[in-house]
Structure 1
């Protein structure tokens, strides 16, 4: 067995510390849906306000019983704002747009949905089904859409959701014909 020289020991300890420290800025979330489970890792370092906002909604049980109300294959799946009966849920004040954080709207990342107003994101989010660079900062409006994490398990569930038949419901387009329910969002401690 090869022995590690003592001069390398401080370097190895530093690498171990940095590796553990990198995970300290991640928040793990489990999203149970009617089609399966999706695990998401949220990046507190790059999007602290957005992660805090999402985590608070999750801890309050806000997302439980909401649906993926906008599904566009080869683009994204959006949820977190409407009930199965298409009633829009009351939200807190909007969160500051953190799209200028270096994270990109790539396949499997989660980002905040918003209106045309840059700082209008509240509770709704979307998971990118493919790379969507046109949504990155600065985007078409000088702001872009704030990515705040990525799917770590369950991307096959996202793919399945993205393939569901869609139609028009309550005047909204791209609504799945059969509701896809977000049963519960849990912050894993």
Structure 2
């Protein structure tokens, strides 16, 4: 049986100005879609000769290539996460820097969706009066994605095998021959072979963004068993070791029409622990 991503490949540019947005899970197969694929282009070859991470000017943090353990302390309980710098050194360096600067203290999980994910890290979420702006804030800088498309097989998966039948009908013959990686590269995504990306599944911590290479401070923790529509679009950089029950409870909070909890769920502190991290595993975490 052919396995498809069934409506999870977005073939139309969805621009929400200023928003750091995690696309919801795919709609039901009988929903009407309006799709517009970009003009097919030849994907640029990944330059595997460059050092990773690249040297970037004007960033206030240094890459971290080791595993670091942090505890996200919330008013609903603690979430302990192992951050894997060998898989995403820039991303881990950024998160640790912001934690040590107390950047996250007082922020809220401003978007929670049951059986999908919880999203936080926006400094604007500290102010309840700016509720309509929650999801638009960041640290006033951005840094690149750290994703290996080959880790998810996107370099070999044909676009025609990854979409639902009604999407397939709207693809040009040229687009049908593209891989998912080539399709995403045509949208501006860039990939590196210098890292082996962590899986995107339940218990994983990843960066929220507003498009390619727009990482800042916002992050999300996955509660779904898998999120194939996010593969290749978000940098995973850690896994929950303890407190997945807290994550699940947060994801089920009562929310408004924008998935913002009515009763604020506050990050009180993010503690960076010293010393080695034992037993880092990437299989699904329980609690």
Task: Please give the TM-score of this superposition, normalised by the length of structure 1.
Answer: 0.78
User: Equivalences for 1:13-52 in 2 at 5 Å?
Assistant: 25-52=66-93
Contact preservation (8 Å) 2:99, 2:271: yes
User: Equivalences for 1:1-189 in 2 at 5 Å?
Assistant: 25-81=66-122, 82-85=125-128, 86=131, 89-100=137-148, 101-115=196-210, 117-130=211-224, 131-137=226-232, 144-168=233-257, 173-189=258-274
Report the equivalent of 1:20.
none
Contact preservation (8 Å) 1:84, 1:179: no
Q: CA RMSD in A?
A: 1.5
Displacement after TM superposition at 1:102 (Å)? 2.2
What CA distance in whole angstroms lies between the structure 2 residues aligned with 1:121 and 1:62?
Answer: 15
Contact preservation (8 Å) 1:69, 1:78: yes
Displacement after TM superposition at 1:90 (Å)? 4.9
More strand by share: 1
Contact preservation (8 Å) 2:72, 2:79: yes
CA deviation profile, 1:46-78 (whole Å, cap 9, x unmatched): 100000011111000000000000001111000
Structure 1 gaps of 5+ residues are 1-23, 138-143
Structure 2 gaps of 5+ residues are 1-64, 149-195, 275-287
- Structure 1 segments (4+ residues) deviating >4 Å: 87-90
